[in-house]
Amino acid sequence: MTTPVIDPDAELIERVGRGDPAAIQALMARKLSRMLALARRMLGDPTEAEDVAQEVFLRAWKQARVWTPGAGKFDTWMHRVALNLCYDRLRRRREDVMAEPPEQADPAPSAETGLMAGAVADRVRTAIDALPERQRTALILCHYQELSNIEAAELLGLSVEAVESLLSRGRRALRGALADLAEGRD
């Protein structure tokens, strides 16, 4: 027999399910930045990230009405929806044959890039993007989304040991790809 999961958002989700406007705003305030950050990291496109976040919240609003407390955390479910939507978009990108090159991204630095030197941020982003999908996803969930290994394992449908292995291999690959940056600081 499994122990029911204690969800810190249970009361809020119940209120969202009843259509309480204040609860819907509170859910958005609590979760939007994390959903946007996850989608931005997975997709590398702020516009697509906003579309994904919007779809996550539409689905959350609908799901809140029928959510069964204790079965799992609503936050975990939201992350799973966001990941699936990102995977769908990434899959479509690979399938699309482009007649013309895509629009170039705005070269202006983002707020995140402004905190780091532009060249270093680009190198790190490129190194993360070069990782195999499962390693990249595990790193994004655990390091950037600040989920525990247990939560990431649940989202990915893997054991905690498998997630830890993915993290270890991903970190090792990043260290190798970015070794020259570390040497430059000494």
Tell me how far apart the alpha carbons of residues 136 and 41 are, in angstroms, rounded to a whole number. Answer: 10
Residue 130 in contact with residue 101, Cβ under 8 Å? no
Q: Which pLDDT does position 105 carry in this prediction?
A: 61
Distance in angstroms between the alpha carbons of the first and the last residue of the chain: 54
Q: Which pLDDT does position 109 carry in this prediction?
A: 55
Nearest to 179 by CA among 123, 114, 132: 123
**91-93-95-97 Cα dihedral, nearest 10 degrees:** 180
Q: Which pLDDT does position 71 carry in this prediction?
A: 76
Nearest to 103 by CA among 48, 183, 165, 33: 48
pLDDT tens digits along 62-78: 999 998 887 788 999 99
CB atoms within 10 A of CB 84: 14
Average pLDDT over the chain, rounded to an integer: 85
Q: Which domains does the chain have, with CATH numbers?
A: 1-95 (1.10.1740.10), 116-186 (1.10.10.10)
Q: Which pLDDT does position 104 carry in this prediction?
A: 62
- From first to last of the 186 residues of the chain, give the pLDDT tens digit: 556 668 889 899 999 999 999 999 999 999 999 999 999 999 999 999 999 999 999 999 999 999 888 778 899 999 999 999 999 999 888 766 555 555 666 566 555 445 445 677 778 888 988 999 999 999 999 988 888 999 999 999 999 999 999 999 999 999 998 888 776 554
pLDDT tens digits along 9-20: 989 999 999 999
Q: Which pLDDT does position 43 carry in this prediction?
A: 92
10 is written with which tokens?
Answer: 């249970």
Nearest to 137 by CA among 163, 160, 112, 175: 163
- DSSP labels, 27-40: HHHHHHHHHHHHHH
Q: Which pLDDT does position 57 carry in this prediction?
A: 94
pTM, rounded to two decimals = 0.67
